[in-house]
Structure 1
Amino acid sequence: MTLPVIHRVTTLELDVQPWSWPFAIERGAEITAHFAGKQREKPQIWNGRLLLARNPVFTGSGFRAGYFETDFASFLAWRDWGFPDRGIFNGFGMGALRSNDGAFVLGEMGQHTANAGRIYFPSGTPDLDDICAGTVDIAGSVVREVAEETGLSAADYRADAHWDCVVSGASVAMIQVLNVDSPGEALRTRIEANLARQRQPELSAVHLVRDIGDLTAAMPRFVTAFIEAQFSQ
C-alpha cells in the first residue's frame, strides 16, 4: 500500500471543465442498479450532482487540477468498486478544527449517511454550489461544511494561510487548520448542543484528538496521516 504524501501549498487552481466520464457512461446500467440497492439500504441518500477531478499537478507552493460534473450514483459505484478508473480522484476540502489547548475536533458520521461510522474533519465532495467564476472554491466549501456539520461560522475561527494536501489512494484531501479560541471540551459541548437542535444531524458524535493515541481505525488514512504530521512538528 502506498503511504500518503503531504504537499503544503498556498494556492489552489481548480478549474471546472466540461468532460464526459467514460466510466459513468459505459457502466451506466450497473451504476443505476448499484445505487438502487444503496437506496434500499439507506433511503435518505439521493443522486445529486457533484464534482470529481483529474490531472493533478503540484508545482512548488500550488496545486492545480481539472474538475468535472458527475452524479453521486457514479461516484458511489466508483468508490465501492475499488476506484476502477485510476485517472480520477476525489479532491475535497477539510476544516481541521483545532482548539486553543491543542485538540483536533472530528465528527462521526451518522448511520443514515453514506459514510456511516467514519470519523473525520468537516468536509464534503465539492458540488455545483462550490463553483465560483469557473473554479472550485474549496475555501468556501470548507466554510459551508463546517457550518452545516458543527454550527460554527467563519467568525468563530482563524484559518491558516496554507493547505496541507494529503494524497492517499484516489483521494486528495485539502486540509486547512481552523484555530478556535476555545478549549477542546467546551468546543465539543458547543457542537453537541448544535447537533441536538437538528432533526437529523449529519454527525452522531464528536471526538477530540489530543495525541496519536486517540487515532482510531474509523478515521481515514488521509486524516490520520495529517494528524500524525501535525503532532510531529
Structure 2
Amino acid sequence: MTLHYSEDFIGWPEERVVFPLANLELRVLPGDHPFYLAERDAIAENWTKEVAANPALFDGRMLFQKRLELRDGKLLGESHIVPFSTFMWWRRQEKRHGGVHLFAYPVLATSDNALVAIRMGAHTANPGQVYFAAGSFEPEDVVDGHCDVEANMRREVLEETGFDLSDAQADDGYFAVRNRRVVTLLKVFRFDLTADEVIEKIEAHMLVADDKEIAGAVAIRSADPKAQPYNIAMLPVIEWYFGQKVNR
C-alpha cells in the first residue's frame, strides 16, 4: 500500500480539533528517512548546538513519519527510524516539511474528575513543560513491522510515574489532534484513585526511579490554559476533555 500524503492535511479536521479514530495502521519501513538523507549535514550542525546548550541530551533512536493519512476515520502511517537529532532539527523549521511527528498521550484520569500530568526536568528537551507522561515512539515499540502504540504508552507511564496502565480502565478507541505537523494520539485511562493519591504515588516513585526525567506531577482540574506551563499539544486535549464533562 502506498500512501498519498498531503502536505496540507486535506480531508482532515481543522487544527486543534480533537476527533475520534476508527483504527490505526502504523507501518515502520526499513532504510533511512528521506528528510534525514536530505538534511544530514544540517542535522549534525544543529545537534552540536543543541548539546552545547544542554549536554544531557542523548541522540537515541525514534520513529518519524514519512507519510500520514486519514482515510475513512482510519489513521495510516509510514515511518522510518531516525536519530533524535533529526527530529530536533525538523522541529526548529519555521515551515516544517518532509515529515510528520506522531506521538501518543495516555490521558490519566482520576476518581475525582481530574487529570494528572508531569512536569519535565530542567535537563530534558522540554524543560519545565507540563504534559502527560509520554515519549516518542522508539524501535522497541516496533512489532512485526508496525508501531505498537499501547506498548509505548505503557512503557512511558511506567518509567515516569510507576503506574501500570493495565491497572486502569481504558476508554474505548483512540482520538487524535493535529497542530503544526504534529499529530497527537489520545487514549483515556481511568484510575480508581484521587488526583492527590496518584501524585503521592508518583512522587514516591521519583525517589527510586532510574529515569530522572520528571521534576514532579500536577493535577489538572480545568481547561484553563494558564494554570500550568503546558506543552502546546496539551491545550486542545484539556479543552476537549473538560468540555466533554460540561456537555454530558
TM-score relative to the length of structure 2: 0.86
Alignment match, 1:209: 220
Question: Residue 129 in 1 paired to residue 140 in 2?
Answer: yes
Alignment match, 1:26: 38
CA distance in 2, matches of 1:41, 1:128: 27
Counterpart of 2:153 (choices 117, 131, 142) is 142
CA distance in 2, matches of 1:214, 1:221: 9
| Maintained 8 Å contact 1:83/1:170 | no
CA distance in 2, matches of 1:104, 1:215: 16
Counterpart of 1:44 (choices 45, 56, 60) is 56
Please say which of residues 4-13 and 108-117 is displaced more in the overlay: 4-13
What amino acid is aligned across from residue 23 of structure 2 in structure 1? Answer: T
Alignment match, 1:171: 182
Instruction: Give the structure with the higher percent strand.
Output: 1
Alignment match, 1:66: 78
CA distance in 2, matches of 1:77, 1:98: 34
Q: Deviations over 1:4-25 (max 9, x none)?
A: 1322114211011235333322
CA distance in 2, matches of 1:174, 1:225: 12
Taking only aligned residues, the RMSD between alpha carbons, in angstroms, comes to 1.9
| Maintained 8 Å contact 2:21/2:75 | yes
What amino acid is aligned across from residue 185 of structure 1 in structure 2? Answer: D
CA distance in 1, matches of 2:187, 2:135: 14
Q: What is the 5 A alignment of 1:61-100?
A: 61-82=73-94, 84-85=96-97, 87-100=98-111
CA distance in 2, matches of 1:24, 1:190: 40
What amino acid is aligned across from residue 117 of structure 1 in structure 2? Answer: G
Instruction: Work out the number of aligned pairs and report it.
Output: 231
Over 3 Å counting, the alpha-carbon distance change for 1:224 and 1:157 in structure 2 is same
CA distance in 2, matches of 1:103, 1:217: 14
Q: CA deviation at 1:216?
A: 4.1
Q: CA deviation at 1:84?
A: 3.2
| Maintained 8 Å contact 1:12/1:63 | yes
Alignment match, 2:165: 154
Over 3 Å counting, the alpha-carbon distance change for 1:208 and 1:215 in structure 2 is farther
Over 3 Å counting, the alpha-carbon distance change for 1:200 and 1:174 in structure 2 is closer
| Maintained 8 Å contact 1:10/1:161 | no
| Maintained 8 Å contact 2:165/2:189 | no
Over 3 Å counting, the alpha-carbon distance change for 1:50 and 1:83 in structure 2 is farther
Q: CA deviation at 1:47?
A: 1.2
Q: Deviations over 1:38-86 (max 9, x none)?
A: 222222212111101133222344211111111111111111233531x
Counterpart of 1:220 (choices 221, 231, 243) is 231
Alignment match, 1:17: 29
Alignment match, 1:104: 115
TM-score relative to the length of structure 1: 0.91
Gaps of 5+ in 1: none
Residue aligned with 2:66, SS? strand
| Maintained 8 Å contact 1:215/1:224 | no
